[in-house]
Amino acid sequence: MRTNCSSGSACAANSSEEEELPVGLRAPGNLELVFAVVSAVMMGMLMFSLGCSVEIRKLWSHIRRPWGIAVGLLCQFGLMPLIAYLLAISFSLAPLQAIAVLIMGCCPGGTVSNIFTFWVDGDMDLSISMTTCSTVAALGMMPLCLYLYTLSWNFEQNFTIPYQNIGISLLCLTVPVAFGVYVNYRCPKQSKIILKIGAIVGGVLLLVVTVAGVVLARESWNADITLLIISCIFPLIGHVAGFLLALLTHHSWQRCRTISLETGAQNIQMCLTMLQLSFTAQQLVQMISFPLSYGLFQMVDGFLIVAAYKLYKRRLKNKHRKKTPGCAEGCRHKRSTSPQETGAFLEVNEEIAVTPGTSEPMDPPVALEPTGSISSCAQ
């Protein structure tokens, strides 16, 4: 069951748990290969469309002042490995199962977080830069975290870090995003159309890959209730911990949402590849079901977060309309000119409702008054 990281299947799913297709697991005929190629193409198109939402100016500001990225890396390689270690100890897992949980916690973020970040009006520039930086940092942080947390376990198994797989993940992430950033810079109007199409494709891709991955790996599922419980609460704890840490470090609500989604979203494919490179087929039987179930519950948590945010967004709009009599009628005849204006409106209202404090100056109010329904309501 050992796989070659340079194979096409590795590139197909390397960027995210959405590509949670279990590399190396047996599938009838060439179904796995076809699915891997299709997933790779769709994932490239999806990251290209998400790249169309990134502005060079904002991306450069995150690189020049990497406070948000630093907090994200602390969540990714500080909180997640610690949470994995505590879960393994608390549930008294068998050694191989504990290692599977720990490896999952040490993996970098996956691109599924970028999709959910877009749906909750998060900071896409921060999300993509965090995913890229965590993938690069994984080259050194994964072996370091595994070494530190396995010292107390006296575990003699040597781990094989999939460096080539990490490199391919980085390549498959940055190249499409770079093209998307260029299109957004040269053709901003066309990029908005591409972004809307990409959001729809992303939703379909998440559902298709999740269902297909579960079907292809149905023989590898293990009905261990303990592992199912851990795979259910692990991503949820990651989301909550990431949000709280971002809140304590005085980030805006938009960045808190972004860091939260990035923290709980792990690269499932990288975990699977590492397990296959480090353990025998007999050992994998006890381990492989955890990353599969983790990926499934991670999708469920993500969709629940998106649904909760949409309800909150609608409630916030209705509350604003009730506070401004005569606005509702005018809003029916006017529409906002862009999705960014709606996001700016929501962000300002969130900051007014509860302001955790900001580490960076806010944009001037004049930039948040576009023509359309929202501006007419605010006046």
**pLDDT one-digit tens code per residue, 60-116:** 888 888 898 999 999 999 999 999 999 999 998 888 889 999 999 999 988 788 888
203-221: average pLDDT? 66
Q: Taking 90 as the threshold, does the pLDDT of residue 158 lie above it? A: no
How confident is the model at residue 184, as a pLDDT?
Answer: 84
This prediction's pTM: 0.73
- Higher-pLDDT residue of 90, 13: 90
DSSP code string of 88-124 = HHHTT--HHHHHHHHHHHHS-B-THHHHHHHHTT--H
Q: Give phi and psi for 55, each to the nearest 5.
A: -105, 135
How confident is the model at residue 239, as a pLDDT?
Answer: 93
152-178: average pLDDT? 79
Q: What percent of the chain has pLDDT over 90?
A: 16
**pLDDT one-digit tens code per residue, 181-196:** 888 888 888 888 888 7
124-149: average pLDDT? 89
β partners of residue 266: 109
- Higher-pLDDT residue of 83, 324: 83
How confident is the model at residue 277, as a pLDDT?
Answer: 84
- Higher-pLDDT residue of 295, 219: 295
What is the Cα–Cα distance from 170 to 314, expressed in whole angstroms? 36
**pLDDT one-digit tens code per residue, 287-303:** 888 888 888 888 888 88
- Higher-pLDDT residue of 353, 319: 319
How confident is the model at residue 246, as a pLDDT?
Answer: 93
* Cβ proximity of 47 and 237 under 8 Å: no
143-154: average pLDDT? 86
How confident is the model at residue 325, as a pLDDT?
Answer: 60
Q: Taking 80 as the threshold, does the pLDDT of residue 220 lie above it? A: no
Helix (H) or strand (E) holding 296: helix 289-323
Q: What angle do CA 16, 143, 224 make, to 5 degrees?
A: 60
Rg, Å, the chain Cα set: 21
How confident is the model at residue 228, as a pLDDT?
Answer: 86
β partners of residue 109: 266
Indicate the residue type of 346: L
Residue 273 pLDDT class (50, 70, 90 cuts): confident
Mean pLDDT of the chain: 75
Residue where the block lists tokens 């999708």: 299
How confident is the model at residue 214, as a pLDDT?
Answer: 63
* Cβ proximity of 64 and 129 under 8 Å: no
How far out from the chain centre does Cα 179 lie? 20
118-122, 238-242, 361-365, 371-375, range with greatest mean pLDDT: 238-242
Q: Taking 50 as the threshold, does the pLDDT of residue 375 lie above it? A: no
Q: Which of 65, 63, 121, 72 is nearest to 245 (CA)?
A: 72
**pLDDT one-digit tens code per residue, 15-24:** 444 444 444 4
- Higher-pLDDT residue of 31, 114: 114
Indicate the residue type of 232: C
* Cβ proximity of 287 and 96 under 8 Å: yes
